[in-house]
Every structure is written in C-alpha cells, then in structure tokens.
Amino acid sequence: MMNKHPAAVEAEGLKVTRGGRTVLDGLGFTIPHGKITGLLGPSGCGKSTLMRALVGSQAHVTGTLTVLGRPAGHRDLRPRVGYVTQAPSVYTDLTARQNLDYYAAVLGIHRRDRAAQVERALHDVDLTSHADALAGAMSGGQRGRVSLAVALLGEPELLVLDEPTVGLDPVLRRDLWKLFHRLADERGATVLVSSHVMDEAERCHRLLLLRDGRLLADDTPEALRSSTGADTVEEAFLHLVDQAKADESRTEASTAAPTEATPR
Ligand SMILES: Nc1ncnc2c1ncn2[C@@H]1O[C@H](COP(=O)(O)OP(=O)(O)OP(=O)(O)O)[C@@H](O)[C@H]1O
C-alpha cells in the first residue's frame, strides 16, 4: 500500500528548550517509512529530548514536527506509535504476561485479540519462557525486554526506542537488532533507535548524527563513510565533529575580528 505521506517523520526548524536552555536547535530531517533509522550522538546531545518531542511528551517544542501525517503528540497517534524509554516502565509486582495483558487493555486492544498479541510480543522479545515470572524478580535486561514487548502491542507503525541495548550482553544485543530488522523488513514498521555505541550505527539503514542539539549528518552509513573518507561510522562522526568545530572557530574569529580591529 502506498503511504499518503512520503516520510514517517518530518521535522523542520525543530527547536526545544529545557530549563531555559536550547537543547535542540532548529533541526530539519525526515525519517523514511519501513526502515531502521539510528539516532546517534554523545551523551547529552539531545537524543532523548528529540524522542520525547516525537511522542509528544516534551514541553517547549517549536517548529514543525509531523509524525505519520499528524502533528507529533496527536491523540490519534497513541496506538500507532510505540515508545520505550531508557528506564523500563513495568509493574514490578506483576508478571511479564500480566504487565502485557494490562497494557493491552489500556491500549484498547480488543479482548478477542489480546491473548494472541501478548503471546506474540513475548515471543518477539524472547521472553515466552519467563512470561510468568514477576517483573520485579527479573534482571534489568529482562525488564527492558518486557518494556519493549509492551511497545510492540497493537503492532505500531512507528517504534521509538531510547537506547534499548544499553547494558545488554552481546548475544542479547545481536538478537534485539535481528528483531528490529524483522520488524522493519517483514512487518513494515519504521524503527527509530537511539544509541551512543557507534558500532550499532552500521546496523541501521539511515543515521541521524546529533551533536550539541544540532544535526551533523542525515544519511546512510555507507554514504557517511564515503563522503568523509572514513572506514567506520565512528571515524566519520569524529571527522564531522572536527569539521563542525573548525567551522565554529572560523565563524567566531570572523565575527570577533572587526570589533577588535575597530579603534576606540
Ligand atoms: N529535565 C531537564 N531539565 C533541563 N535540562 C534537561 C533536562 N533533561 C535533560 N536536560 C538537558 O537537555 C540536554 C539533552 O538531554 P538528553 O537527555 O536529550 O540527551 P541524550 O543525548 O539523550 O543523553 P544520554 O545519551 O545521556 O541519554 C542535556 O544537556 C541535558 O542536560
């Protein structure tokens, strides 16, 4: 089926202030449908803030931010967008299955479809064998996967995943990336996943590289490597950071020069 809107997400002049400080500064980008887009950048560069803006939970957002053809945060988007925050949001006194049953009911998934959806989500995150364990008795990684399973309920068109692989062992990380690819390739979901681990960038179809609330690049991993002459995305990122710093100091020097040269 053709999508009415060419991109799953479109941002223009997107600006966010937090605590009176500009933390996203005039971002413009698109996120294509049915692909995995990685949102990468150092700690504090604004990844979570951007994700919060996308799901409509961030205050002080200006500019244009369109998600699946609606303004970000529109109530119609609620069942169409799955969001996983960095901190697992599950009830520790319920089992994994009970958590999912509860969220399925909250999401308004029809009673008839609920059990199948819950089992599928448990299977997706490889927690079927732990379905009846209390979330409170699970490891951090397992609780994170329950949170992810919650986001998969109702088969959302867009998944917004904030650092879902942090703290996971390499096997679990690899399995999660396989799942993200299955969701995009087989179910047509659009996946936006943040990370500050650059080797994960190579697993994405597209990348948004952020630094200090500004977009350094919006491209494929291959194009980024070739345009910067780098062997890895990490090297490409460092190259772009150096270039941005050099541009900034040139701009500062050129704006400072006339003032210094002007006699009093
Ligand atoms: N509640 C808040 N009030 C004021 N400023 C905040 C608040 N939360 C975050 N910030 C600031 O906003 C900026 C962006 O933070 P954000 O959490 O989006 O970064 P991030 O890239 O997701 O970082 P990390 O990778 O460490 O999660 C940071 O400079 C941070 O200090």
- CATH number for 207: 3.40.50.300
Q: For residue 263, is it within any domain?
A: no
Q: What is the pLDDT of residue 209?
A: 95
Q: What is the pLDDT of residue 189?
A: 98
- The helix-helix angle for 233-261 and 221-228 (nearest 10°) equals 50
Q: For residue 218, is it within any domain?
A: yes
Q: For residue 145, is it within any domain?
A: yes
> Which of 47, 86, 162, 194 for mutating ligand 1's site (highest number of atoms within 8 Å of CB)?
47
Q: What is the pLDDT of residue 3?
A: 53
Domain range for 93: 9-256
Q: For residue 80, is it within any domain?
A: yes
Helical segments of the chain, H only: 47-55, 96-106, 111-124, 140-152, 170-185, 221-228, 233-261
Q: For residue 264, is it within any domain?
A: no
CA of 175 to the centre of ligand 1 (A): 28
CA of 194 to the centre of ligand 1 (A): 13
Q: What is the pLDDT of residue 224?
A: 96
Structural domain tally of the chain? 1
Q: For residue 4, is it within any domain?
A: no
Distance between CA atoms of residues 193 and 163, nearest Å: 7
Ligand 1: residue whose CA is nearest its atom 29: 44
Per-residue pLDDT in tens (0 to 9) along the chain, 264 residues: 445 567 999 999 999 999 999 999 999 999 999 999 999 999 999 999 999 999 999 999 999 999 999 999 999 999 999 999 998 889 999 999 999 999 999 999 999 999 999 999 999 999 999 999 999 999 998 999 999 999 999 999 999 999 999 888 899 899 999 999 999 999 999 999 999 888 899 999 999 999 999 999 999 999 999 999 999 999 999 999 999 889 888 888 887 766 555 444
Asked whether the beta carbons of 228 and 237 are under 8 A apart, the reply is no
CA of 249 to the centre of ligand 1 (A): 25
CA of 200 to the centre of ligand 1 (A): 21
Q: For residue 231, is it within any domain?
A: yes
The residues, any chain, with a CB within 8 Å of residue 10's CB and separated by 6 or more, are: 29, 30, 31, 64, 65, 66
pTM: 0.92
Q: For residue 130, is it within any domain?
A: yes
CA of 144 to the centre of ligand 1 (A): 20
- Ligand 1 site residues, Cβ closer than 6 angstroms: 18-19, 23, 41, 43-49, 196
